[in-house]
Amino acid sequence: MISGAPASGKGTQCELIEKKYGLVHIAAGDLLRAEIAAGTENGKRAKEYMEKGMLVPDEIVVMMVKERLLQPDAQENGWLLDGYPRSLSQATALEDLGIRPDLFILLDVSEEVLIERVVGRRLDPVTGKIYHLKYSPPENEEIAGRLTQRFDDTEEKVKLRLKTHHQNVEAVLSIYKDVIFKVNGDAPIEDVFAEIDKALSSILEKKSRTASSSMAAGIIS
């Protein structure tokens, strides 16, 4: 599982993890949209709530996540659950279903850096490309002149989003305290991934040692 505040670089790290380890990347939001588009039972129920402007109840989303994690690709290759669970009730529901990660990656980024990353973000409405005024500025004046800012990418809105995020994460951490791996997300992308990579490699080594010793035990017995 991976958790990080808005603009913590979580999306980028998910791509890097998926590419190197072949894990099935599952984001609850994407899953929800896919189920609604496919018209599944869960999707239909979720759509009813969304059309009324209500939050989709935990039990529906938890069932979607559970069913996705039980698919053959996730069972064979392992999974990377992105930005979920977000509350104690969601985490408890997953625990009750016997769903627990080997590692809970927490991208820890200072509020100052997060605000700077979000407030400087700009969108090119023509190409859909995301720029940042400081970190990845537009290539030319023409593009610079047409860039727009998302309505909620203001300092005030970001602070509210961060407050909600921190409250949710605090509640979830108590469930996963023995598998939490905290990474300094203020560092450059490559350095953050190097830390995550090290932690995942060590888990894989332990798993393969356990598997080979249990095979050996099977042969001996």
Distance CA 87, CA 169 (A): 7
Mean pLDDT per block of 10 residues along the chain (221 residues) reads: 92 95 92 92 92 87 93 96 91 93 96 94 94 94 95 90 88 93 95 97 90 64 46
pLDDT tens-digit readout, 87-126: 899 999 999 999 999 999 999 999 999 999 999 999 999 9
Residue 156: phi and psi, rounded to 5, are -60, -45
Of the candidates 20, 33, 150, 209, the residue annotated as catalytic is 150
What is the pTM (predicted TM-score) of this model? 0.84
* Torsion angle, alpha carbons of 131, 132, 133, 137, to 10: -50
Of the candidates 68, 86, 117, 122, the residue annotated as catalytic is 86
Tokens of 210: 């356990």
Q: What is the DSSP string of 83-130?
A: S---SHHHHHHHHHTT---S-EEEEE--HHHHHHHHHTEEE-TTT--E
Of the candidates 10, 68, 117, 122, the residue annotated as catalytic is 10
* 100 annotated active-site: no
Q: At what angle do helices 88-96 and 58-69 cross, to 10 degrees?
A: 40
Tokens of 45: 């129920």
* 122 annotated active-site: no
Pick from 69, 72, 45, 67: which is nearest to 56 by CA?
45
* 45 annotated active-site: no
Start-to-end CA distance of the chain, whole Å, equals 36
Of the candidates 47, 100, 129, 161, the residue annotated as catalytic is 161
